Amino acid sequence: MSTITARITMPDTARRGEVIAIRVIARHDMEREIDAPGLTRMPRRILHTFRVTYAGEEVFRMALSTGIAANPYIAFTTVAIETGEFVFEWQEDGGAVYRREARLIVT
Amino acid sequence: MKGWSRRAVMALPIAAIPGLAKAEEESFEAAERAILAGRTPIASGIVIDMPLLSENGNSVEFALSVASPMTAEDHITTIHILAEKNPQARIARFNISQRAGRAEIATRIRASTTQTILVLAETSRGQVHRAGQEVIVILGACVDGG
Q: What global pTM score does this model have? A: 0.87
What confidence score (pLDDT) does residue B129 get? 98
- DSSP helix/strand/coil, B81: strand
Report domain extents, chain A: 6-30+45-106
Domain count of the fold of chain B: 1
Residue B83 lies in a domain: yes
CA separation (Å) from B31 to B65, B83, B90?
21, 10, 7
Q: Which ranges of B16-140 would DSSP assign to H, the alpha helix?
A: 28-36
B51 in reach of chain A (CB within 8 A): no
Report the residue of chain A nearest B92, measured CA to CA.
A64
Q: Give me the sheet containing A73-79, strands edge to edge.
A: A6-9, A19-26, A73-79, B103-109, B60-66, B46-49
Report the residue of chain B nearest A95, measured CA to CA.
B18
Q: Are A78 and A22 in contact, with CB atoms under 8 Å apart?
A: yes
Q: Which amino acid is at A107?
A: T
Q: Are A7 and A24 in contact, with CB atoms under 8 Å apart?
A: yes
Which residue ranges of chain B lie beneath pLDDT 50? 1-4, 6-23, 145-146
Owning domain of residue B9: 2-139
Residue of A31, A59, A61 to mutate, testing the B interface (most B Cβ within 10 Å of its Cβ) = A61
- The C-alpha of A60 sits at a distance from chain B's nearest C-alpha, in angstroms, of 5
- Rounded to whole angstroms, the Cα distance separating B83 from B112 reads 9
Q: What's the CATH number where B32 sits?
A: 2.60.40.2470
- Rounded to whole angstroms, the Cα distance separating A40 from A34 reads 7
Q: What is the mean pLDDT of chain A?
A: 95
What confidence score (pLDDT) does residue A40 get? 87
Architecture per CATH, A6-30+45-106 = Sandwich (2.60)
pLDDT tens-digit readout, A58-87: 999 999 999 999 999 999 999 999 999 999
- Rounded to whole angstroms, the Cα distance separating B58 from A69 reads 6
Residue B146 lies in a domain: no
What confidence score (pLDDT) does residue B80 get? 98
What confidence score (pLDDT) does residue A1 get? 58
More confident residue, B71 or A2: B71
Confidence of residue A52 (pLDDT cuts 50, 70, 90): very high
pLDDT tens-digit readout, A13-49: 999 999 999 999 999 999 998 888 888 888 999 999 9
Nearest beta carbon to residue B18 from set A48, A58, A72: A48
